[in-house]
Structure 1
Amino acid sequence: MPHKRTTRIAAVAATLTLGVALTACTGNTPQNTGGGTNQGGARVANDEPGKKVVIGFSAPAADHGWMAAITNAAKAEAGKYSDVELKVVEGTNDVNLQISQVETFINDKVDAIVLLPFDGAALTPVALKAMKAGITVINVDREFDSPFAARSTVLGDNYGMGVSAGTYVCDRLKGKSDAVVAEIAGIDSLPLTQDRSKGFADALSGCGLKVANRVAAEFTVESGERAAANLLQAARKIDAIWNHDDDQGVGVAAAIKNSGRGEFFMVGGAGSANVMREIKADNGPHKATVIYPSTQGADGIRLARLAVQGKALGDLVEVEVPREVQLFAPVVTKDNVDRYLPTAFES
């Protein structure tokens, strides 16, 4: 779940200024069949059928919208390729069961395993075992403890989420030095939550603001409603709220509605379809959300296929797929919401 922060605030802010939403693996899209060129000048035909690739896929239980979207996107992506056979096991939050699932993939001699571990550290030994058995492992979202446990890793950007949210808040509150900014975090003990909060605080400091009121929830609807109710009771005036997670945001929205408050605007987190629809309609407190891509599982499927077939990313000169792909955390507003709605998840 948590992963190391690999971006600095200056670099993220520069990317935000460009307004370019970077995504992984775009060189494999159908309209780009044939891809780019490798170092020898040969065409890279990413989407042309090749050697059959059997991929095992395992992820935690789909107990909220984002996680359900991860698995659904992976299945849909695999279905686009006639040379991919996907074996999906039931999602589980039982570490021992997930280890057993990977062991079964190893015994079945699959070509690749795309694994979003419930606990990256706990799944590291079995991922190492798979790699030693010659199976290509693609690690998704929650990093293993060893760089040798995966051929490639696909990550979101938790720190970048905070920077994106804070930069948007700064832009909206420009010149309002006494603005009251509130934050509804996720689980405080998790490094991913800590990274998001750090990025948010760093971005706010750049415009002379800071978080005045902060509460933590647990990434659930119930905890979001409870945390938001506590926040609204404690703070009589708020100008802006950043909520880390749109799934818990369903409860946050309920608490706001019950309070009758409406003097502030909200920025969501993760990028759910229901929040994006509210942004598009412009009829609620949400004016933006920051994406934590639920396409990571699908990107893992593409990388696994390319790695096993010895292909590269069509938009890169390198002849191998990268060791790590970190996805961007763009801000979705009314101006660009139509671009992101098609890949949004339902909370």
Structure 2
Amino acid sequence: MRELRRTGDSPEQPPATGQFASRRNLLLGTAAAGAALLATGCTSNETKDESDSGKQPAGAPGDKPGKKVTIGFAGPQADHGWLNAINEEGRRRAKAYEDVTLVSTEGSNDTAQQIGQIETLINKKVDVLVILPADGKALTGVGLKAMRAGIPVVNLDRVFNSPQAYRCWIGGDNYGMGLNAGRYIGERLKGKKNAKVVELAGMDSLELTQERTRGFDDALKNYPNIRKVARQAAEFTVESGQKKMAELLQAQPKFDALWNHDDDQGVGAERAIKQAGRDEFVMVGGAGSRHSMDVIKADNTVLKATVLYPPTMAASAIDLARALGQGKGVGGLAEQEIPASLTLYSAVVTKENVDQYLPTGFN
């Protein structure tokens, strides 16, 4: 199923706004700051004594090992740059801890197969589970099964259908992606009369795509001089990005800005733009690939920014799982327990700040 194979792509995205806002009760300032908060954080619930005064951030070379924790990691099939980065970030973070043993599944986009893989981890009696479900609704039952077996679950990005199926959710903000893309474009074009923008969206059947578009449209409402004149939905692939971008370029002889939802399909969009010889507009990408960041830094194409959907969330999920297994909270917060949910911020990467985010760019 194509819709289960792309950036943060689940019909069951955890709501970021409105009636469900309380389920995303902690907003981290930037993707890097989000990881840093957790990294400095899996601190003990016990009162510090002198022996703890020099404690280094979790995952740093000087971090003191604690109780040994076995974490089961059930991630996606790595058939997309972002999904591959999720798996790599999780494995890399686990290796940073002497007290963590990571037991990973092969990764699957087939719900039945992934359920079987998670049940195997439950039978192995791992201490904590980190799960990025192929389909949050379909895998809710196995999340509930793990929780009932006394194995806390860190639900990564694609949310289960019931909050009882996980102890903590951590993921990106699709509405925020659209909102910040719109704000960036709005500020670039606020002095231009009758500015026109176009949108290269993801798959329209997905709630994440709808949320990104809604955020984008809401941002543009604050710029009465800007009008969105066209929108095409692609499929988060290079091929679809090239095809749909070519159609947009043919239909719109001139416009001022383009927002593309996904950097992988953006590679195809860039090809179509180059083939058409067009350069009268600015392009904003989505997700934060290394390719996009390199192009932004070079500053020699229409691509001027990308809005993050950070795969570092997988590393932070390992931090949270370790904290759960050791009965700790998160550093920088007063509470003795980790939060129920963490929403990562969709930072806008531009030429001015790209060096800061280059280490998080995925291939």
TM-score (norm 1): 0.92
Displacement of 1:146 = 0.4
Task: Describe the superposition over 1:146-205 as per-residue Cα deviations: whole angstroms up to 9, x where unpaired.
Answer: 001011000100000001000000010012231110000000010000000000000011
| Match status 1:211 vs 2:193 | no
Q: Tell me, yes or no, if structure 1 residue 72 matches structure 2 residue 88.
A: yes
1:314 counterpart = 2:331: yes
**2:252 is the counterpart of 1:252:** no
Query: What CA distance in whole angstroms lies between the structure 2 residues aligned with 1:327 and 1:20?
Result: 8
Query: How many angstroms does 1:257 deviate by?
Result: 1.0
**What's the counterpart of residue 279 of structure 2?**
262
For residues 201-222 of structure 1, what are the alpha-carbon distances to aligned partners after superposition, in whole Å with 9 as ceiling and x for unaligned?
A: 0001111123211000000111
Q: When the two structures are aligned, how many residues end up with a matched partner? A: 334
Query: What is the deviation of 1:25?
Result: 4.5
Indicate conservation of the 8 Å contact 1:24/1:327, yes or no. yes
Tell me the equivalent position of 2:6: none
* Displacement of 1:315: 1.1
The counterpart of 2:290, out of the listed 273, 280, 283, is 273
Deviation readout 1:16-65 (Å, 9 max, x if unpaired)? xxx95253242453xx5895x86967769654211111111112211110
Distance 2:272 2:75 in 1: 31
C-alpha separation in 2, matches of 1:34 and 1:57 = 19
Q: 1:232 aligns with which of 249, 268, 271?
A: 249
Write the distance in 1 (CA, Å) between the matches of 2:301 and 2:200: 18
The alignment status of 1:185 with 2:201, answered yes or no, reads yes
**Match for residue 83 of structure 1?**
99
By how many angstroms is 1:7 displaced?
A: 4.1
**Cα offset, 1:92, TM superposition:** 1.0
Cα 1:74–1:178 shift into 2, 3 Å: same
**Contact in 2 for aligned 1:38/1:317 (Cα 8 Å):** no
Identical aligned residues as a percent = 53
Give the unaligned 5+ runs of structure 1. Answer: 12-18
Structure 2 unmatched ranges of 5 or more: 1-9, 22-27
Which of 16, 21, 26 aligns to 2:30? It is 21
Alpha-carbon offset, residue 325 of structure 1 = 0.3
Query: Residue 223 of structure 1 aligns with which residue?
Result: 240
Contact 2:90 2:318 in 1 (8 A): yes
Cα distance in structure 2, aligned partners of 1:59 and 1:341: 24
In 1, distance between residues paired with 2:338 and 2:111?
29
Q: Does 1:197 align with 2:213?
A: yes
Q: Give the letter for the 1:4 counterpart.
A: P
Q: Which amino acid aligns with 2:14?
A: K
CA distance in 1, matches of 2:45, 2:299: 46
CA contact (8 A) 2:240 2:265 kept: yes
Aligned partner of 1:296 in structure 2 is 313
**Given the superposition, is the C-alpha separation of residues 72 and 34 from structure 1 closer, same or farther in structure 2, using an over 3 Å criterion?**
closer
Q: Which amino acid aligns with 1:247?
A: D
Alpha-carbon offset, residue 308 of structure 1? 1.1
Q: Please give the secondary structure, in 2, of the residue aligned with 1:120.
A: coil
Aligned: 1:62 with 2:78: yes
Question: 175, 182, 191: which one pairs with 1:175?
Answer: 191
1:94 paired residue number? 110
